[in-house]
Structure 1
Amino acid sequence: MNNKLQNKMIEDMQLCDYCDRTQKSYSRAVRQLSNFWHVPAEEIAEQQVREYFLYCKNDQGWSASTMRIAYSGIKFFYTHTLPMDWETLRLLKIKRLTTPPTVLSINEVRLILGTARTPQARAFLATVYSCGLRLQEALNLTVHDICKERMTLHVRQGKGGKDRYIPLPKSTYNLLVEYWKTHRNKALLFQALGRDRKKGRTATTPMARSSVQQMMRRILKELPKIKKHATLHTLRHSYATHLIEAGVNLRIVQQYLGHSSLETTMIYLHVTDMGNSDAAARINRLMGGLDDA
């Protein structure tokens, strides 16, 4: 697409309050469509869009999640930026898979934290797990987001641009304080160190997503006992599941995770049988003695 349309699409997505990652993914989807046909996006016809989706689905075997991103980006462009009344955009349906997430046990989480090589790595992973944060939420944390008096963490501009407050465990607070003493940056909690670690005090950019993800992969590689396919986001899944297993109300878990819908939080009920076992125990207590009647 030409620069004018490209800029308009970015502005349209900004008006819709889409995050940077979504903007990049949607823009990439339109570029891939254009590159496939070797013509600008504004010259593509509906039949070409239809054939492109069929090719990606049947010949390329794209997963549902990859198809969803491509479809959403292309639909956005031809619905908002360059409006087209195309039946194809209304026809395509991609089911969202709701497979239960991978969850680590508390002992497995402790193993991961114990294998972290640096104070930065340990403090970061502990914060992600014990506060149930998304990766970008953790990277964006500042010193001012910690309230020592209330022992809470202020998550700013989470998914959907929403702020929320989360209880900050004392043990995690202690790790953060000890780590902060190694750099004493006045703003960022998890700053990019680069090759010169002495610049940590004045760094103005957070750690890179790729660096943190690589760190997690390296730790898991050193722990052959953990057979599960885990990622950094698995720590957030584990946090939610462990809270539910501890008896925390589902609405509270929803609030801490920053979910808009309770239905999203309810997926964690499928990865624990604590609710069923607790119900069975209550039923047995309630019905106890019936055989003596």
Structure 2
Amino acid sequence: MDIIDIEALLRTYEDYLVHVRRSSENTVKAYIKDIRRFFEYIQKPPKDIVRSDVEKFVKALSKGEITGGEVTETTISRYISSLKTIFDYLQLIGVVNENPTERVRHPRLRKKIPSFLTMKEVKAMINTFDEEKELKYKTIISVLYFCGLRVSELCNLRVEDVSFYPPYIKVVMGKGNKDRLVPISDSIIPLLEKYVERYKPKVYFIESRGKSIHPATVFRIVKRAAQRAGINKKIHPHTLRHSFATHLIMNNVNVKIVQELLGHANLSTTSIYLHVADKEKFDAVKKLVI
């Protein structure tokens, strides 16, 4: 396959990611970059690529030969996921008969206990925005926390996906290509109703100049809220999702329910929040000093 064919393939695949899978801008960029590097290294048309080619590429990647520097297990795992999705797509459109990444193993990732906020800190972040002058910002922080959304899910959330009667958010094609329903907390329904009445969003629930809000803008809003609230931790939009999950576990919500609310494909991913709760318990006991 020559370079022109590769670029043509990547353009059609990018359209598929954006319009069918509704992947975030950052995800699309990462996948396209990973896949381009793979084809440039292997120099074979998709139909001729086999499992050993993928494993050869992963080995070169782990040695730093692809990127020109050391890469983490997380990055290697992302490359494998990128390749799996492109070959799933090629299988879907009939270019290949089977996915050569099917039995390629992901590196074992060390699970880090995610950082999270206390309920008091979350409340301070939400309340740092004035409801009259900064209603949109207050709404963004509230939806991220109370619905446990990923930033890409917030940015892609459409008006039609938000229901007030009954109150729920439909997350369409979230990570893992899986839809889910997330109930809206009674405590933020008045805020969301006020937001809709004032801004009258047409396509995307959180709009900026008629388009979906950019993830970088959401990141800046979250950082601003943390700074105003006097929180010195390293905060990003996903911190609110971690906090949502952690607080549910701390309030004895069944981990399976938390898994469904977060949209995790595997229970093992959600189980990390059990360790967070355990850490809190140990830290509490350590304060008992005689």
Instruction: Confirm or deny a common fold (TM above 0.5).
Output: yes
Equivalent in the alignment of 2:257: 252
Q: 1:173 to 1:5 in 2, by over 3 A?
A: same
Q: Deviations over 1:35-89 (max 9, x none)?
A: 7x7x9676xx969845454125997222222233235446777998698xxx999
CA contact (8 A) 1:103 1:241 kept: yes
In structure 1, the residue matched to 2:266 is 261
Q: Secondary structure at the match of 2:213?
A: coil
Aligned partners of 1:270, 1:66: CA distance in 2, in Å?
A: 24
Report what 2:215 is aligned to: 209
How far, CA to CA, are the matches of 1:71 and 1:187 in structure 2? 34
Distance (Å, rounded) in 2 between the aligned partners of 1:80 and 1:183: 38
Name stretches of at least 5 consecutive residues in structure 1 with no aligned partner.
194-202, 281-293
TM-score, with structure 2 as normaliser: 0.73
- 1:235 deviates by 0.6
**How much does 1:128 deviate?**
1.1
What is the match of residue 65 of structure 1? 74
Q: 1 CA distance for matches of 2:136 and 2:89?
A: 43
Larger C-alpha radius of gyration, 1 or 2?
1
Write the distance in 1 (CA, Å) between the matches of 2:199 and 2:89.
46
Tell me, in whole angstroms, the C-alpha distance in 2 between the residues paired with 1:239 and 1:252: 13
Match of 1:131 among 128, 147, 162: 147
* Distance across 1 between alignment mates of 2:176 and 2:81: 17
TM-score in terms of structure 1 length:
0.72
Tell me the secondary structure at the aligned position of residue 62 of structure 1.
coil
Q: Partner residue of 2:247? A: 242
- CA shift digits 1:166-206 (9 cap, x unpaired): 2211221111122222222344321113xxxxxxxxx2x21
Q: Does 1:20 align with 2:23?
A: yes
Question: Measured at CA, do residues 26 and 239 of structure 1 come closer, stay the same or move farther in structure 2, by a change above 3 Å?
Answer: same
Deviations 1:201-243 (A, max 9, x none): xx2x2111111112222333344x4232221011111111111
Mapped to 1, the partners of 2:67 and 2:270 lie a distance apart of 33
Q: Give the Cα separation in 2 of the matches to 1:132 and 1:139.
A: 13
Who is 1:196 aligned against?
none
Taking structure 1 as reference, are residues 258 and 183 closer, same or farther at Cα in structure 2, changes over 3 Å only?
same
- The count of corresponding residues between Structure 1 and Structure 2 is 262
Q: Distance in 2 between matches of 1:121 and 1:100?
A: 28
Give the conservation status (yes or no) of the 8 Å contact 2:159–2:203.
yes
Tell whether 2:184 aligns with 1:184.
no
Asked if the contact 1:103–1:235 (Cα under 8 Å) also holds between the matched residues in 2, the reply is yes
Is the Cα–Cα contact under 8 Å of residues 245 and 274 in structure 1 kept in the other structure?
no
Give 1:111's aligned residue.
124
The answer as to 2:107 corresponding to 1:94 is yes
Whether contact under 8 Å (2:14, 2:32) holds in the other structure is no
Mapped contact 2:146–2:244 kept (Cα < 8 A): yes
Residues 249, 72 of structure 1: alpha-carbon distance in 2 compared, 3 angstrom cutoff: closer
In the other structure, the counterpart of 2:172 is: 156
Instruction: Report the more deviating stretch, 164-173 or 181-190.
Output: 181-190
Of the three residues 223, 230, 235, the one matched with 1:230 is 235
RMSD of aligned Cα (Å): 4.0
Gaps of 5+ in 2: 46-51, 286-290
